[in-house]
A and B are shown apart, each in its own frame.
Chain A
């Protein structure tokens, strides 16, 4: 199985089952640097499982995933964790910010996990917070900010390490349409400015509209919907 030429991250013939429930059944995926790909499909279709497999969070039962020419299956847990820390960024539906840390500490966390000093990490974090228009929240805790603000903090946290791939799982699922659109604008602009690829899991067409290409997952199978923005 050879990945498509020029692809940064590619998956072929992915299969994954949770007990008797088949989540992925021969799914295919590929993304190029700087590309935004929306993974769409109804609830329970296997979108999130595909994202988790692509990010090396969950190992597939079979199939191949290559990142930058390296097979993920050949890496051990520590190597995959290091990859996620340095090359990937994540945004989840509910932000999943650490409630005890302030917003700037949350954004700085991935850098600190990579060994950057606290001062340096928070300085970098603040520049990303400015870009995402949440720098005034730096001393607040996640419990003290709104859902949209929290999600922008989460996007800043995902981008602070300059990842090559940003995984966003329903990033606007818990937001109203106005906030959702603002988050998507900021997310895609920031990603494109750093040439990061974005894997965007959503079931909303208006969110998918921010992507360059759409993939539909249904019953664990994927179908590429070529679309030019």
Chain B
């Protein structure tokens, strides 16, 4: 067979794809839209690595605080930066106060001119937020005049909330962690972090699980219009086309749809890219410029999709014998064989098996084996499902007319039904496996925080030198604040330099100190010591020698060095017992009531406030944040939650949710298109059934059964494969196997919901098609 003949036949198929007037165009457009949606999703996936890189580069380029105290001297080229991050409701806002110390001070990325005192430059999203009606509280906290906008190069996402405000008098607050003097922006010493192998495994599985249904979807989309096409091809057989030519012509038709789909997909991607810049999903936003597909991967998509269309069609046409005289053999096809269908999932298991028990401490997983194994297992769903549907429906007994019509149809063409639900089954199987894997490893990444959220719900760290008492008064007057516990905290050592022993010093009123330790009795002027707290070996040594001089040193707490303040261990110390404080730790060292603190020691201490709130008060957290900023612009308010989740784990889970939503929406659309096409093909039959009195309810129920039976079997199979894959993945990470049944049921519910939605959406057209005027031929 010459290439020329191949090209000629494919070319004829391409022409046929668009022939046939309106119907031909509609069919080609449907296929192209279907393939286009899949292509768009694939292109988006190829752009993800670039997106992550750009986000990381931008984050790195704007790094200013590196949490180490450097003794950089003030010069024309220095800038003092203070971290004034804040939150508004559940949104994080990145904030920096900038105080240039000379004309050559470095400008942050995206900023053209330093804002003066009382001015700020903001990100477009923050500008919109501040101008919105509901942001009055935030506007009180950020009252500066907006004099500019942060450019794209200074932001990591289009919806990022960020501002730079002019700062003044920041130098005394330099501590290296929240206030620093810098000469340039950018991460000077990026640390190569070793990514957890389990996280990499999760990412790989997420991608495979999300892309696999897209591939299944594309394979289904190129077969849109299959039944009409078969009739058309029969006519070609009549005029002399042999069966091989016919198959190639059919492949040509699919190729046309796929190529047009590539064009559509590119357009959809470009539209989606622009839309992506204006949306935010789970706090992640991007700029359209981030979403540039990797050229090699994009080329691969461009070649693989048309090639897959041709191959899928040739493969699908194997079982269809197209004969001349318009006869398409619809006799019962030969029975499907099980053995090779079982080989695929078993092969997948075999690829994953060597990594069982590897855990996270034995290096990274073999990515190729993981991808291959997961792929084979999921492809196994698509090959096993037609066999299962065929085997089960062959054994289904007769029931009512609706049931009989549905079962008989499934017996005659179980492949079509199985193909329809393949995508959902693969997506659900993958999602169940991932849910299991997430649930299993969640405990490693999600920690129950030690914060006692019953006693306090917010913590405010005041900056060094910020007066504590006035701040406490302001917090007491803040709406929604029920109780204020305030401490001045510091560290002391037994020597001025390089001490070998150290202890905490906590100053607070009796009510506050009682939250930190068991006090025998307390009145202002008392000093206590706690010598038996965990990790504190030194206090009991220090209290053995009353009258000895110890030194409060702010540098222990990130403060400036060489500012030690001497303090004498008093004679009349009272012993206090330990208990867990608000943060779930046993506080040790010295506890002083305010009168017992020498005035000279105050500068070495830093104010810390813990707040018990009435959470029923609307925006109570923001009221506190406003008070905090007003009392001390460099203060750091923090909201406590009972659990803490590792950021990267959150990111992957977010990715899974976003991806699963896209994929299921796509599959739902494809199911609907396929369903409608099948109904259109049966328009005349439906009309004639109605003509001799068949109730519409009977026909509607029959359509529902036709979808429900394969989807029930598909979901059952996907549960088995999903649970097996999940169990294997958990064993690979050396995590005990446990099944999150609620997740499994919810995933099954989502899959069933998609099918139900598709059935409901196809009912109105079904009812229209059942109108008797479908019998008209003229």
Residues on A facing B (Cβ under 8 Å)? 18, 43-44, 48-49, 52, 55, 57-58, 78, 81-86, 88-90, 92, 94, 96, 98-101, 105, 109-110, 112-113, 118, 141, 143-144, 157-158, 169
Q: Smallest Cβ distance from A15 to chain B, in angstroms?
A: 16
- Tell me the bound Cα distance from A90 to B688 in angstroms: 9
Contact (A82, B693) CB under 8 Å given A96-B688, A118-B398: yes
Looking at chain B's contact residues, the main secondary structure is helix
Cα A49 to Cα B329 in complex, Å, equals: 33
Q: Which residues of B contact A88 (CB under 8 A)?
A: 692-693
From B47-55, B407-415, B635-643, give the one contacting chain A. Answer: B407-415
Q: Which residue of chain B is the closest to A97 with respect to CB atoms?
A: B685
**Which chain B residues lie closer than 8 Å to A52 at the CB level?**
772-773, 775-776
A110 proximity list for chain B (CB < 8 A): 692-693
Which B residues are within 8 Å of any A CB, using their own CB? 329-331, 398, 401, 404-405, 408-409, 411-412, 684-685, 688-695, 698, 772-773, 775-778
A81 is contacted by which of B412, B688, B690 (Cβ under 8 Å)? Answer: B690
With both chains docked as a complex, state the minimum distance between the C-beta of B409 and any C-beta of chain A, in angstroms. 4
- Cross-chain pairs A/B with CB under 8 angstroms, 11 sampled: A48-B775, A52-B773, A57-B691, A78-B695, A96-B685, A98-B685, A100-B411, A100-B412, A105-B408, A113-B401, A113-B694
- Known pairs A52-B775, A99-B685, A100-B405; list 18 more (Cβ under 8 Å): A48-B775, A52-B776, A55-B691, A57-B690, A84-B693, A85-B693, A92-B688, A96-B685, A98-B689, A99-B330, A113-B693, A113-B694, A118-B398, A118-B404, A143-B329, A144-B331, A157-B692, A169-B775
Asked, given contacts A90-B692, A110-B693, A113-B693, whether A101 binds B773 with beta carbons under 8 Å apart, the answer is: no
Q: Which residues of B contact A169 (CB under 8 A)?
A: 775
Residues of chain A within 8 A (CB-CB) of B777 are 48
Provide the bound-state CA to CA distance between A143 and B692, in Å.
21
Chain B residues in 8 Å Cβ range of A157: 692
Enumerate chain A residues within 8 angstroms of B690, measured Cβ to Cβ: 57, 81
Instruction: State in angstroms the CA–CA spacing of A101 and B688 once bound together.
Output: 15
Q: Do residues B775 and A92 form an inter-chain contact, with CB atoms below 8 A?
A: yes
Q: Bound complex: CA of A141 vs CA of B332, how far in Å?
A: 10
B401 surroundings in chain A (CB, below 8 A): 109, 112-113
Q: In the complex, which residues of chain A have a beta carbon less than 8 angstroms from the beta carbon of B689?
A: 96, 98
Contact of B405 among A101, A141, A158 (CB under 8 A): A101
B-chain residues with CB within 8 Å of residue A82 when the two chains form the complex: 693
The closest CB in chain B to the CB of A86 belongs to B693
Contacts of B775 in A (CB 8 A): 48, 52, 57, 92, 169
Q: Which A residues touch B684, using CB under 8 A?
A: 94, 96
Complex Cα distance A82/B695, Å? 9
Contact between A105 and B404, CB atoms less than 8 A apart: yes
Q: How far is the CA of A113 from the CA of B701 in the complex (A)?
A: 13
The answer for the CA separation of A169 and B698 in the assembled complex, in Å, is: 25
B residues within 8 A CB of A90?
688, 691-692
Q: Find chain B residues with CB under 8 A from A112 CB.
A: 401, 404
Of the candidates B398, B412, B692, which one forms a contact with A141 in the assembled complex, judged by CB atoms under 8 Å apart? B412
Compute how far the CA of A88 lies from the CA of B773 in the bound complex, rounded to whole angstroms. 18
In the complex, the answer to whether A81 meets B772 with C-beta atoms within 8 Å is no
B776 x A48 contact (CB < 8 A): yes
List the A side residues contacting B694 at CB < 8 Å: 81, 85, 109, 113
* Nearest 3 A/B pairs, CB to CB: A85-B693, A96-B688, A100-B408
* Contact in complex: B778, A48 (CB < 8 Å): yes
- CB-CB nearest in chain A for B778: A44
Determine the chain B residues whose CB is within 8 A of the CB of A96 once the complex forms. 684-685, 688-689
Min CB–CB distance B389 → chain A (angstroms): 15
User: Which residues in A have their C-beta under 8 angstroms from that of B698?
Assistant: 113
Q: Complex Cα distance A40/B404, Å?
A: 38
| Contact A100-B409, Cβ < 8 Å, known A48-B778, A92-B775, A143-B331 | yes
- The answer to whether B778 touches A89 (Cβ under 8 A) is no
Contacts of B330 in A (CB 8 A): 99, 141, 143
Query: CA of A99 to CA of B331 in the docked complex: distance in angstroms?
Result: 10
Q: Is the CB of B331 within 8 A of A57?
A: no
A23 to chain B, nearest CB (A): 9
Q: Shortest CB–CB separation between residue B108 and chain A, in angstroms? A: 69
Chain A residues with CB below 8 A from B688, complex form: 90, 92, 96
Provide the bound-state CA to CA distance between A143 and B688, in Å.
17
**Max chain B Cβ within 10 angstroms of own Cβ: one of A48, A49, A96:** A96
Residues in chain B near residue A113, CB distance under 8 A:
401, 692-695, 698
- B408's nearest neighbour on chain A, judged by CB, is A100
Complex Cα distance, B227 from A101, in Å, reads 19
Give the distance in Å from the alpha carbon of A84 to the alpha carbon of B692 in the complex.
5
Can you name the residue of chain B whose Cβ is closest to the Cβ of A158?
A: B692
Q: Which residues from A are CB-within-8-Å of B691?
A: 55, 57, 84, 90
